[in-house]
Amino acid sequence: MSSTLSTPPGYAPFDLDSLRRWLAGKPELAARLGGDPEGWRVDEVGDGNLNLVFLARGPAGGLCIKQSLPYVRVAGESWPLPLERAWFEQRHLADTGPVVAGLAPRLIAYDPVLYAVVMELLPHHKIMRLALADGERHDHASIKVAEYAARATFATSVLARPFEAVADLQAVYARNQALTRISVDLIFTHPYIEHERNRWTSPQLDDLVADLRGDIPLKRAAARLGHAFLTRHEALLHGDLHSGSVMVARRDGSGVARRDGSGAAPLDGPGATPDDARVIDPEFALYGPIGFDLGAYVANLLMAYFSQPGHEQRLGDRADHAEWILSQVGVFWRHFAARFDALWSERSATATGQAAGQASGQAPDAYPAALFAGAAGRAALADERRVFLDGVYTDLVGYAGIEIIRRTIGFAHNLDFERIADPERRAACERRTLRLARRLMVDPQAFADITSIEQAARELAS
Amino acid sequence: MSSTLSTPPGYAPFDLDSLRRWLAGKPELAARLGGDPEGWRVDEVGDGNLNLVFLARGPAGGLCIKQSLPYVRVAGESWPLPLERAWFEQRHLADTGPVVAGLAPRLIAYDPVLYAVVMELLPHHKIMRLALADGERHDHASIKVAEYAARATFATSVLARPFEAVADLQAVYARNQALTRISVDLIFTHPYIEHERNRWTSPQLDDLVADLRGDIPLKRAAARLGHAFLTRHEALLHGDLHSGSVMVARRDGSGVARRDGSGAAPLDGPGATPDDARVIDPEFALYGPIGFDLGAYVANLLMAYFSQPGHEQRLGDRADHAEWILSQVGVFWRHFAARFDALWSERSATATGQAAGQASGQAPDAYPAALFAGAAGRAALADERRVFLDGVYTDLVGYAGIEIIRRTIGFAHNLDFERIADPERRAACERRTLRLARRLMVDPQAFADITSIEQAARELAS
């Protein structure tokens, strides 16, 4: 896998041998694995679109090592991509780590020359998207992702911190341009024009794609969402918060495995509880509207839902599972909203004490607690939180729609649909999903609350 | 004026002698003045709140030198302020210079050790706020400020440029934190709480200030505007765009003068036309909502309008002048909206040609032209521009209100009112202005178009 793309001095992609030697040369990492390096098990398991991912295990424990390649893995060297995305991923893990402990992998080390992020190994986990396609229920997963989103976005916003601390972070993530470029092109632009990177189930969906290219209300919505994505810098986002960026505990309790599900021996280790769930892969991190992350997650639940008939062995045998997936849309949003509201409420109470009538210092600068003193003030601030979260919800609706479209007729597709071998069945599922996506984007006001999204999905599916 | 605050090595505030020697030692600057340094006229004319401002004139021409002090000039050493605000001012002049040539002073040099910005001298000019208080009409001034705002904000937005270029600028200005801190505190927080920096015409306005401190709808509006100010990074703003940041050609055609209006001999030089107007002092530059700059300018027109009865020598002798000032509110907004719309329209037409169906490269990333091809697409994009500008207008309304409040009961007051010696007369003018300000903030939707603001002001004044 040698590359003809130029890379900085000292960089080389790991292979199994060079990684083993590198780990053996780092005493603090070698100690975590324990024993003789020759006895370590090292696997390359990356099945994502961009990077190398290795798992290393020894008698004392395991590590996950994620390394940037100088190109988009799924596309090859014809699509170069700067190595520094690994730097942004470790920076996001470091910046959010204190508030999302237990909901994301722990950052252990970063090598700036090799662009390698070393994290704790999650030995009992599999990708949530795969679990949903496999028909597994993970009742805590969406709650944990919602908790993660609430904590990470709140803590990095001017609702929680003085603007200076937030502006410093904004300046950092404003440099994550290579991956933001991918989002701008693949989410907000390419699906709405003719572009060689688009693909869809053809010829079954050709009519729908042709309609979409002439769908002016849809393109207006896409443009508004794109402008908000680039200018509304509310919080530090994950940037790609879908079910493929979540790991859940394996139902069979078995140990680490390839992401394709092939098994391995049981193993103790971090997150060895059945309800563990972790958000991974924040390399697309950027400041943006909070609803962007939430909409992406909801969209991927909806795609999982609409894909279920395609996974049936006999008619209706996925109906219960599908309905459970759909219910997670509401579970997710309601938990997010309640927790974001609670974090904000607690922060205001603390800030009132801290600032004692002063607005500067460590108190947050947005909705300053000093402006909302007393019982009437507290009630007004509670109203403002509701107004704010209503706005986040409206954003969620639109971004859910645009995520569905880009994952169905754009460049990057989902296993949910891709695993449906029969193109007729697949297209039927995709068509229903796209119909909902259009309504979410063009008429978000019609979805007054999260239940109305579930209801609309249910009607389209039946 | 020696300071006990610590400053970086090499920095010292200029006095008239040290500035003369410094200029004499810079051949490219000395040549602009011409002749013998001993013959140069050097004056310190700074009457702003923060900095030293010198004018230097020689037989060949003139220069304006603006230097940071390590504290807030108007407050003294008890309020330290980092020197680097001069760096942000020259950076803004450099970043916007190509698009606002003739509407702002030209940047000639910057000294990073002395924190000194060297600009072209505007020898025929006076501060617009003073001109309005003096009863002068400057029919082109508000049009030129609108042109400046349209060009500067459009050019620095994702409507005009790829997001990477904009993100680079956002990262730069995210560091202008000392002056943004002043805005956050003095505009969005202090006027709404008890704070030692607040002052107002007392006891005449004590009742009104007491009401305001308990005015929950007003404080909710202030908090929303503050959050948008810190998170909606639409364009590079001037950050303090009021009539004290605009210089207009002196009506009597006389040459350079102290800002207090004391005269000097006629002189040729830049901007020696009666309709010249320049926007100065962009040291508060930051990314934010476009309506913030526009609202600040409108607020200062409204304050000039409401202050006119206080400047009357005999009853009604300022009525015509007041009505003319009020008419500039509409002139300003309409010119801004028309020019912003035109710049966007022209940019989309160019981008369509440039990009030829591609969205990447040099084409702007927001509202990509490729999504709005054909006659129907162009019509839809025109609609989107209108929707966008409607949003900017709504922001203008709210930010106009908050600017009036902070200039009337906060720390930094305006000459418009301050020159009214009789506190009863002054308070009467301020009270009417504040009444309008509250309505602008609490009920912006009631001001459906710019004419309705003029009408409301007229009714309150009569």
The mean-pLDDT minimum among A351-360, B152-161, B340-349, B442-451 falls in: A351-360
Residues of chain A with CATH 3.30.200.20: 1-120
What pLDDT score was predicted for residue B357?
A: 44
Distance CA A437, CA A442 (A): 9
Q: pLDDT per residue over B91-113, tens digit each?
A: 999 999 999 999 999 999 999 99
Distance CA B181, CA B230 (A): 11
Q: pLDDT per residue over B369-415, tens digit each?
A: 999 999 999 999 999 999 999 999 999 999 999 999 999 999 999 99
Residues of chain B with CATH 3.90.1200.10: 124-461
In this predicted structure, the answer to whether residue A358 has a pLDDT above a threshold of 70 is no
Beta bridge mates, B162: none
CB-based contact B246:B124 (threshold 8 Å): no
Q: pLDDT per residue over B23-40, tens digit each?
A: 999 999 999 999 999 999
CA distance B386 to chain A (A): 12
Confidence band of A354 (pLDDT split at 50, 70, 90): low
A1-120 under CATH 3.30.200.20, yes or no: yes
Q: pLDDT per residue over A143-199, tens digit each?
A: 999 999 999 999 999 999 999 999 999 999 999 999 999 999 999 999 999 999 999
Distance CA B285, CA B238 (A): 5
Distance CA A135, CA A53 (A): 26
Which residue among B157, B188, B370 sits closest to A193, beta carbon to beta carbon?
B370
Return phi, psi of residue A213, to 5°. -65, -25
DSSP conformation class of B101:
B
Taking alpha carbons only, the member of B123, B103, B127 closest to residue B56 is B123
What pLDDT score was predicted for residue B162?
A: 97
Distance CA B75, CA B64 (A): 23
Q: Which residue of B has its CA nearest to A171?
A: B171
What pLDDT score was predicted for residue A249?
A: 93
In this predicted structure, the answer to whether residue B13 has a pLDDT above a threshold of 90 is yes
In this predicted structure, the answer to whether residue B132 has a pLDDT above a threshold of 80 is yes
In this predicted structure, the answer to whether residue B253 has a pLDDT above a threshold of 80 is no
Confidence band of A352 (pLDDT split at 50, 70, 90): confident
CATH of domain A124-461: 3.90.1200.10
What pLDDT score was predicted for residue B269?
A: 61
What pLDDT score was predicted for residue A4?
A: 66
CB contact (8 A) between residue A380 and residue B220: yes
Confidence band of B50 (pLDDT split at 50, 70, 90): confident
In this predicted structure, the answer to whether residue A361 has a pLDDT above a threshold of 70 is no
What pLDDT score was predicted for residue A50?
A: 86
- Helix, strand and coil percent figures for chain A, each rounded to 5: 55, 10, 35
Residues of chain A in contact with residue B368, where contact means CB-CB under 8 angstroms, are 188-189, 193, 223, 226
Distance CA B379, CA B373 (A): 10
DSSP string, A208-240: HHHHHHT-HHHHHHHHHHHHHHHHB--EEE-S-
In this predicted structure, the answer to whether residue A110 has a pLDDT above a threshold of 70 is yes
Q: pLDDT per residue over B182-229, tens digit each?
A: 999 999 999 999 999 999 999 999 999 999 999 999 999 999 999 999
Taking alpha carbons only, the member of A29, A7, A28 closest to residue A19 is A29
A288-310: average pLDDT: 98
What pLDDT score was predicted for residue B5?
A: 79
Confidence band of A219 (pLDDT split at 50, 70, 90): very high
What pLDDT score was predicted for residue A270?
A: 65
B416-434: average pLDDT: 97
CB contact (8 A) between residue A181 and residue B164: yes
What pLDDT score was predicted for residue A266?
A: 42
Average pLDDT over chain B, rounded to whole?
Answer: 93
CB contact (8 A) between residue A216 and residue B376: yes
Residues of chain B in contact with residue A227, where contact means CB-CB under 8 angstroms, are 158-159, 366-367
Task: At B272, list the tokens.
Answer: 């020696």
Residues of chain A in contact with residue B164, where contact means CB-CB under 8 angstroms, are 177, 181
User: What pTM was estimated for this model as a whole?
Assistant: 0.94
Distance CA B6, CA B279 (A): 32
Residues of chain B in contact with residue A234, where contact means CB-CB under 8 angstroms, are 231
Distance CA A132, CA A299 (A): 14
Which residue among B222, B230, B384 sits closest to A223, beta carbon to beta carbon?
B384
In this predicted structure, the answer to whether residue B256 has a pLDDT above a threshold of 60 is no
Residue with the larger pLDDT of the pair A74 and A428 = A428
What pLDDT score was predicted for residue B167?
A: 98
- Give every CB contact of residue A303 below 8 A, 6+ residues apart in sequence: A404, A407, A408, A414, A416, A417, A433
CB contact (8 A) between residue A370 and residue B189: yes
In this predicted structure, the answer to whether residue A262 has a pLDDT above a threshold of 70 is no
Task: Give the ipTM of the model, two decimals please.
Answer: 0.94
Q: Which helix (H) or strand (E) covers residue A266, if one does?
A: none
DSSP-derived 3-state class of residue A435: helix
Taking alpha carbons only, the member of A158, A140, A139, A60 closest to residue A102 is A140
Confidence band of A5 (pLDDT split at 50, 70, 90): confident
